[in-house]
Amino acid sequence: QVQLVESGGGLVQAGGSLRLSCAASGSIFTINTMGWYRQAPRKQRELVARITSGGSTNYADSVKGRFTISRDNAKNTVYLQMNSLKPEDTAVYYCNLENVRGNARNTYWGQGTRVTVSS
């Protein structure tokens, strides 16, 4: 069982920055992927960024060059540095962790943290 707690959301003006954090606890496997997803009103939840336990990353095209995902294994924490924020980035951001062992996959979600970017 894994628990995820997000923090760092808030209100920011366009062009500003925020840093989201997600602290994980529980049964975290050696091989895993952590990521950030977001969901805006009346839209589907979408992937923002992911990072594997090996350090490989991928980003949504809409955030490339502006957002950076990183992780600190000692703290079991993943971060999302968001720069040059746009009103279109407004959403609830959810932390995700996927444990991997053989062919098994177990996925966990945080409760979300709200990001509002004003124009």
pLDDT tens track for 44-84? 999 999 999 999 999 999 999 999 999 998 889 999 999 99
The yes-or-no verdict on residue 21 having pLDDT over 90 is yes
- Please state, for a pLDDT cut of 90, what percent of the chain lies above it: 94
| Pairwise CA distance, residues 115 & 74, whole Å | 27
- Say what the pLDDT of residue 73 is: 85
84 Rama sector, left if φ>0, alpha if ψ -120 to 50, beta otherwise: left
46 phi, psi to nearest 5 deg: -130, 150
Q: Whole-angstrom Cα distance, residue 96 to residue 14?
A: 26
For 57, half-sphere exposure in the C-beta direction (CA atoms, 13 angstrom radius) is 18
- 25-51 pLDDT, tens digit each: 999 999 999 999 999 999 999 999 999
Residue 89 pLDDT: 98
- What is the distance between the alpha carbons of residues 73 and 56, in angstroms, rounded to a whole number? 14
